[in-house]
Structure 1
């Protein structure tokens, strides 16, 4: 792994104790949030806002490595996607990030009951990740609408697999990833965030990746990079049933 930019380096003399998480792969899942074109591709509608961070973190290649390691280890893999349907564009109450997403048409689909125009659209999955997502084994959860999993079935799907340890990756670091992290922690899961398999927006309002990284250090049960995560998955690997 390349050394992170100086502003993202861990503190030399941290004040907080280091959290520890020992994986038990029989109850572990990789959860990837919004692995979609609009968030991770130069062709996506948010690239001007997130592209620098996606590139800086080597996000897509790192996600490929995580998917490969998770599949080889035989653990549960789940996707928490983001879709907007026409009725979502009639919301009367919105925050700034929602307003941006709606304005640029991120994750738009023509309806909840159709896949017309889905393939290759901004709502579709990244081509590099499709072989892992569309293998017939990955759980594709219902859509989350704002940031956290409270409005979709991520927690239900994980509980049904008897999962209580989660490796978390995807987009965007300070929005959906952090919101999923917080809710999963409140639900009693142990959560490791993969720091170079997430990225965030960079705007005059602030660097979203850096903002999230600070909070990850405070609350995640583990904060690993892709190299360490792959190593842990490989060393603890189980044979798929």
Structure 2
């Protein structure tokens, strides 16, 4: 058998196993960066991510996740992205870090006050605020600074609530959401992703959404659509009532 035949046989036989994901009382929803700079046409990143956000119906689907959390007793954690004035003094930056600093993405004055926060690009979408402001059902953790949660307190807050399973969504897919997925997996969490409750930059010759969706499937225990997750939760509710 030559190398071409072996490669063909490998493609035919290499089926990804199905891990599955069981939602229980140790499960939380984590939503990354549900902020105006990503999710509003007025946001500074909309020109890059807007096409994908619209295609996925990400704005509405993220709102559905907040609602499903409230209706099903699943705690929601929000991992936001903020840059304070002193963050602009960094001595080196990666490509997207540099872009975010250049366009003043997620900017706030300082961490000790919220002056100028309301309505800014760092603020939440208005339609999410009734959920996020419900302190009993939603926890907003400290901000991450690059892409992943390594330098905020998300993992600490999940552990303190005895969470070991995470349903993950938010912005942007191939950067912050994927980085959160990778770190949570490395920390021993079981992770499912809601693929259409996210969006990514689409640029000439670069499709961040396609990259994200590929890696979600290859790494997460389950990739749901928002509708599929809603059906799963409804079934779980019915079984609990029987």
Fold match, TM over 0.5?
A: yes
Larger radius of gyration: 2
Measured in 2, the distance between the counterparts of 1:141 and 1:232 equals 27
Instruction: Say which SS state the counterpart of residue 223 (structure 2) adopts.
Output: strand
Instruction: Say which SS state the counterpart of residue 29 (structure 1) adopts.
Output: strand
- 1:225–1:153 CA distance, 2 compared to 1 (3 A): same
Please give the residue correspondences for 1:197-208 in structure 2 after superposition, counting only pairs within 5 Å: 197-204=197-204, 206-208=206-208
Higher relative contact order (CA 8 A, sep 6+): 1
Give a deviation string over 1:120-160, Cα, whole Å, max 9, x none. Answer: 00000011111110112210000000000000000011111
Residue ranges of structure 1 left out of the alignment (5+ in a row): 1-11
Measured in 1, the distance between the counterparts of 2:77 and 2:209 equals 23
Given the two structures, how large is their TM-score scaled by the length of structure 2?
0.90
Given the two structures, how large is their TM-score scaled by the length of structure 1?
0.91
Structure 1 residue aligned with 2:3: none
Give how far 1:64 is off. 1.3
Instruction: Say which SS state the counterpart of residue 17 (structure 1) adopts.
Output: coil
Measured in 2, the distance between the counterparts of 1:40 and 1:64 equals 12
Structure 2 residue aligned with 1:175: 175
Please give the residue correspondences for 1:89-168 in structure 2 after superposition, counting only pairs within 5 Å: 89-137=88-136, 138-168=138-168
Alignment RMSD (CA, Å): 1.8
Give a deviation string over 1:57-77, Cα, whole Å, max 9, x none. Answer: 001111111111111111111
Instruction: Say which SS state the counterpart of residue 102 (structure 2) adopts.
Output: helix
For the 8 Å contact 1:194–1:224, the answer to whether it is kept is yes
Give a deviation string over 1:24-50, Cα, whole Å, max 9, x none. Answer: 1x1010000000000100010100010
Measured in 2, the distance between the counterparts of 1:103 and 1:14 equals 44
Structure 1 residue aligned with 2:85: 86
Moved over 6 A (4+): none
Structure 2 residue aligned with 1:211: 211
Structure 1 residue aligned with 2:9: none
- 1:23–1:61 CA distance, 2 compared to 1 (3 A): same
